[in-house]
Amino acid sequence: MELQLSMVVLEVADLEASVRFYRRLGLDLPDAVPGGRPVVAHRMGSGVTLLLITGFASTYDPTWSRPVGRGYSQMLEFYVGEDAVVDSRWNELVDAGYVGRMPPTQTVGPYAAIVEDPDGNAILLTSDEAASPES
């Protein structure tokens, strides 16, 4: 069997704030089940599921601690379509108060922008056809 990336799990501090961000980004996230586990999952057309959860890491990994500072070691890349969509998503998110790390820029690779989600994760918005689920 070929190894497949099936899920990206983000341990978030505030589930509602994260759901608002990813909805504003353009994902059709469901609401968390009231009184249920603090988790929201969304399966994308590419087959990868984005899972937002609170309390999992701290419950099952006694050495876990939330990262501090403004650095990041990973980025989640979201293919949003054309350059104009990168621009509009960037503007919408920054205007809504989210931290912009890199305005829309023609990099040595794709046209892209970086914004932070509520937990400081770097979100790369791109028009790179190589990131399209159809590629």
Report which of 73, 49, 54, 65 is spatially closest to residue 122, judged by C-alpha positions.
Answer: 73
**Residue 112: per-residue pLDDT:** 94
Is 2 within the bounds of a domain?
no
Q: State which amino acid sits at residue 84.
A: A
pLDDT at 125 over 80: yes
Tabulate helix, strand, coil % of the chain (nearest 5): 25, 30, 50
Is 33 within the bounds of a domain?
yes
- Structure confidence at residue 72 as a pLDDT band (50, 70, 90): confident
**Residue 132: per-residue pLDDT:** 75
**Residue 80: per-residue pLDDT:** 93
**Residue 59: per-residue pLDDT:** 86
**Residue 22: per-residue pLDDT:** 97
State the pTM of this model.
Answer: 0.86
Q: CA 71 to CA 73: how far, in whole Å?
A: 7
pLDDT at 109 over 90: no
**Residue 17: per-residue pLDDT:** 96
* Enclosing domain of residue 28: 7-65+74-131
Q: What percent of the chain has pLDDT over 90?
A: 62
Is 1 within the bounds of a domain?
no
Is 37 within the bounds of a domain?
yes
SS3 of residue 53 by DSSP? strand
**Residue 134: per-residue pLDDT:** 76
CATH number of the CATH domain containing 36: 3.10.180.10
Is 122 within the bounds of a domain?
yes
How many domains are there within the chain? 1
Is 119 within the bounds of a domain?
yes
- The mean pLDDT value for 110-119 works out to 94
